[in-house]
Every structure is written in structure tokens, then in C-alpha cells.
Amino acid sequence: MVELKGHRLGANLVGDKMLLAACVSGGGHLLIDTLKEIDIASGAKSNLEESGALYFGVSEKEAIIKRIKIPQAVNLDPEKLAMFEFLASLPGREENYYLEIYNQNGFSEYLAVAYQRELIQRRIVEFEDYLFPPSGFRLRSLAMGSAFVHYCRPMGGDLICLLDLSGEDITFCILNCGHPVATGHLANDYIRLEKEIFDTRRFLSDLTAILQFHVSLLFNSGHSVPLSLLVLSGTEAGSDLAGIIGDRLKIKAAIPEFRPELFVNDLIPSAHRYFINLGLTAGF
């Protein structure tokens, strides 16, 4: 595909806010020149100076996700075989879904995703009302993987957990050598509403259990390296919480370390809030 120079915009809804990142692309180079938050509570259409191809994030709770492993000895197209197996597991008819599939390790493991077409069409209408017609969409966790690969410095380790806390959603993506091998979602109900205090103890307990579960599944499927790094992003994230998580999990935890040459002006200090948006600008 040849893409003409222009803006790519990544949009993600967080409560009554829309977070937006925009990059200018040309000659294979991406440069983030916009990070902004838009209030959508009024329902009024936003007047943006930026225009271009718009991509939006989809929550894991709004998709069907399945890891599929195909025997290497099979003399058939492994991707087609993985998609066939995935389609057989879906409720309803194929035309009810948007489908995509990713090879996880260059060999026999695939991550298949089905988006309910009716729900996506509603999201498309929402973004048309807020901004303009979108060009595409992507699972938030997979967008996080793209953000880390395209915009971050290497931070060490082969098996890495990306964890995003934004509004009511907690999203994670586990990467093995840069490939997404597990994704997931938690409802962020760890705020004690009467005191507006983040329930850190319960959050850490649930997070530890979930990550141990996924790492054990990866180990059983042949991924032998331990989890060595957690990268924390999102509107509710910060260095202090990263330190607390790292102490509990006994691994290095930090907010993303971005490549400064890919950002204009002073955008990097707030860029971790827009991590999912950044991944949506990075291509598919």
C-alpha cells in the first residue's frame, strides 16, 4: 500500500471524553504532532483543525478473542485453517462480524478477533457525529502493542505486559519479542466511590492472579521466558502506581519510555495517557 503524506488520527472514548492523537506521515516516517482531550458530554460536533484518516479503539469486552494453535505438520494454509476453526466457534452467522487474524510468532499461533458488526456500526455513527467518518478500528490491546513497538525505546525483556488504566477500563496486552500473545480486559471498579480512593490492594490481587493465569497458559504452549517488564499507561497511570505494581509483582514496572524524535514540542510528558491512541496512528 502507498500512503500519501497526511494525518492519521487515533481516537479512544474514555468516559465523557474523547482522547485524540494525530501523526503526520510521509516517506515511512511518523511524527506525533497532536495529543488532545475533547469533551463530548454536550454531544456537539467537535471542530478539529486536524483532518485525515481516523481510526478508533474497540474494547476487549466488545469483541470475541481466541488464541488458536495450528499443528505445523498440516499441509494447508495455516492462517486459513485458523480462521476456519475460529469461524466454527462463533455464535451466529459469519456476516454478523468483522473478522481479523494475527500471526503471533511467525509460525503456528494465531490471535483471532471477531467484532459484532451491529455494535461497530453504532460506533461508526458515534464518531461521525463527534468528528467525521472513520477509516478503520482496532482492538485497544493490539493498538497498545503497536504503540510500544513503534513509539517506545526498548525497555528490556522478551515477555512484556502492557497495562493501560483509562476511565472504567483496564486493558492489557502481553508481548513476546514484540508479538501480541495474550490480551484481556478488567472492569475498573477499584475506585471506592464514597471516598474516591483507588483500591490498590484489591487491584493488585486481581492483577497478579490474571497475569499468573495467562503466563501459565503461555508456558504450557511453549513460551518458556518469564514475565520481565510491565509498562503502565493510561489516564489513571503514573510512576508512583507503576512502582507499587512492580513491588507486588517483583518485576520492573514503569511508564513508557518514548522516542523523542517521534514527537513534536513537549508532548512526551503526557504521551502515556494517550498510549492506545498512539497505537491507532501507527498503522495496521
pLDDT, tens digit (0-9, with 9 covering 90-100), for 191-217: 544 445 466 778 888 888 888 888 888
Does residue 15 fall inside a structural domain?
Answer: yes
How many domains does the chain divide into? 2
Do 168 and 126 share a structural domain? yes
Q: What is the pLDDT of residue 195?
A: 44
Strand partners, 170: 165, 186
**Residues 113 and 215 placed together within one structural domain of the fold:** no
Whole-number pLDDT of residue 269: 95
| Residues 182, 220 within the same domain | yes
31 within a domain of the structure (yes/no): yes
**Which of 179 and 234 is assigned the larger pLDDT?**
234
In this structure, the answer to whether residues 20 and 126 fall within a common structural domain is yes
Q: How confident is the model at residue 48 (pLDDT cuts 50, 70, 90)?
A: low
Q: CB neighbours of 25 closer than 8 A, spacing ≥ 6?
A: 3, 5, 6, 7, 8, 31
Question: 1 in a domain, yes or no?
Answer: no
Could you tell me if 134 and 49 lie in one domain? Answer: yes
CATH number at residue 229: 3.30.420.40
Please write the tens of the pLDDT for every residue from 57-80: 999 989 999 988 887 766 778 888
The reply to whether 193 and 88 lie within a common domain is no
What is the rounded CA–CA span in Å between residue 262 and residue 108? 34
Residue indicated by cell numbers 498510549: 275
Of 119, 142, 162, which closes a domain? Answer: 119
Residue 108: give the domain boundaries: 60-119
Is the pLDDT confidence value at 279 over 90?
yes
23: its cell numbers? 501523526
Same domain, 54 and 77: no
CA 212 to chain centre: 20
183 and 87 in a common domain: no
Residue 248 and residue 135 in one domain: yes
| DSSP assignments along 19-39, one per residue | EEEEEEEETTEEEEEEEEEEE
End of a domain among 73, 90, 119? 119
132 pLDDT higher than 70: yes
pTM above 0.85, yes or no: yes
Residue 131 grid cell: 468528528
